[in-house]
Amino acid sequence: MVNAVVYKMILASGILVLSLLVAMYSTLVERKVAGWFQDRHGPNRAGPWGLLQPLADGIKLFFKEEFMPNTADKFLYILGPSLTMLVACLTSAVIPWGPDIVINGESYALQVADINIGILYIFAIVSVGVYGIMIGGWASNNKYSLLGAVRASSQMISYELAMSLSIITIVMMTGSLSMREIVNQQQGFNWNIWYQPLGFLIFLICAFAETNRAPFDLPECETELVGGYHTEYSSMKLGFYLFAEYINMFISGAVMATLFLGGYHFPGLDKLGLSPNVFALVSFLVLFTKITFFGFIFMWVRWTLPRFRYDQLMKLGWKSLMPLAILNVLVTGVIILFNL
């Protein structure tokens, strides 16, 4: 019992540190990738290949002046970024990071909480995620921040629906809401993406919208709204907002890999006859590679596509993705019903 609790705590903090590290280096990778897409090198001065750049950025953010508008709602102003960060870190709890590992003859799951409603948990966290932005945007007492916050909330609500509907098909196919169950049904090359390509596409688009990434970054649209919801933020509070975006990116990559790309499974991996711990490590690396792939797609799209106009965004969400998702659910239901 005590062992299990200690193990869970170590695992949870390990995953937290991992997501923070990944988010840290995502900022560097983002700038590097942006540079490469534009025939530049990207940051390469701080350390070899610019590897110390995130550290430099972090130190810079820490030592920036802490500024607060004097008409701001002090408590909510601080609560905003904190909440965003907290919510961003919460989702990783239900993601299965790999098969069980064995320590001293006892097997432990590489998952913080294998609750039987893992998918719903993710939905809950995602739907709560908008509070940080809304509170921060409102508390700044700035019209641009407020507009950003309002945009964020309506965008998130709109795309959450299509997102949930696209996942319902997965739930219908696997008959379970547990993330581990869903992963285990995708052994080998039996990935969900082959059965639900449309669902995957819808989920991918919605993931862009939910993480406020380009081309859906209207809440922080700098050409119209100065900085959107974080216009009035500076120093580490701004850092929290920016950082949370990268954590969200990492986590949504993990969720997509888990739900559609077979999580930590890779064809032929289980036939290699590796010892359990090595197998777990390799599987984890497989999952990590998939997440990295999604991270790259996030950046790739960001540096390719221009931003949507707001009415286009709403139209896409409600008039294209929603009906498509419902259609997807219907077709899947019919196929399951008649066992086609």
Partner 1 sequence: MFTKYIFILLTVLALYSGIMVLVSRKPIHSVLFLTLTFFAIAGHYVLLNAQFLAVVHVIVYAGAIMVLFLFTVMLLNLNKDEHSPKSRWAKLLAVIAGCMLMLTLIGIFRNYDLAVAYDPMMTQIGLVKNLGKILYENYLLPFELSSILFLTAMVGAVLLGKKEQL
Partner 2 sequence: MEPLTQRSKTVSDKKMTFAEKLYLPAILGGMRITFGHLFKKKTTIQFPEAKRPFAGVYRGRHVLKRDEAGRERCTACGLCAVACPAEAITMVAAERKPGEEGLYREEKYAAVYEINMLRCIFCGDCEEACPKEAIFLTDRLVASEYQRKPFIYGKELLVEPADPEKRIDVSERQTPEVLAFKKDRQHKHNN
What is the rounded CA–CA span in Å between residue 200 and residue 203? 5
Write the interaction track for partner 1 spanning residues 33-72; mark x where CB under 8 A is met and - where it is not: ----------------------------------------
Q: Is residue 120 a contact point for partner 1 (CB under 8 A)?
A: yes
The DSSP 8-state label assigned to residue 103 in this structure reads: E
Residue 104 beta carbon to partner 2: minimum distance, rounded to whole angstroms: 46
Residue 36 beta carbon to partner 2: minimum distance, rounded to whole angstroms: 5
Among 20, 52, 68, 76, binds partner 1 (CB under 8 A): 76
Q: Is residue 177 a contact point for partner 1 (CB under 8 A)?
A: yes
Can you read off the two tokens belonging to residue 97?
């990071």
What is the rounded CA–CA span in Å between residue 29 and residue 36? 10
Q: Is residue 108 a contact point for partner 1 (CB under 8 A)?
A: no
Q: Is residue 124 a contact point for partner 1 (CB under 8 A)?
A: yes
Residue 214 beta carbon to partner 1: minimum distance, rounded to whole angstroms: 23
Size of the site for partner 1 (CB under 8 A): 26
Residue with tokens 């209207």: 218
What is the rounded CA–CA span in Å between residue 178 and residue 163? 17
Closest to 115 measured CA to CA, from 141, 138, 96: 96
- Answer with the entry of partner 2, partner 1, none that 128 interacts with (C-beta below 5 to 8 A by kind): partner 1
Report the Cα–Cα distance between both ends of the chain, in Å, rounded: 46
Can you read off the two tokens belonging to residue 51?
């590897």
Among 150, 236, 269, 335, binds partner 1 (CB under 8 A): 150
What is the rounded CA–CA span in Å between residue 35 and residue 208? 21
For 129, the 3-state DSSP assignment is coil
Cα dihedral 274, 276, 281, 283 in deg (nearest 10): 70
What is the rounded CA–CA span in Å between residue 13 and residue 258? 21
Among 149, 162, 205, 244, binds partner 1 (CB under 8 A): 149
Residue 297 beta carbon to partner 2: minimum distance, rounded to whole angstroms: 9
Q: Which residues bind partner 2 (CB under 8 A)?
A: 36-41, 300-301, 303-305
- Answer with the entry of partner 1, partner 2, none that 134 interacts with (C-beta below 5 to 8 A by kind): partner 1
Give the DSSP per-residue string, 165-178. HHHHHHHHHH----
Q: Is residue 4 a contact point for partner 1 (CB under 8 A)?
A: no
Site residues (vs partner 1, CB under 8 A): 73, 76, 115-117, 120-121, 123-124, 126-128, 130-131, 134-135, 138, 146, 149-150, 153-154, 156-157, 160, 177
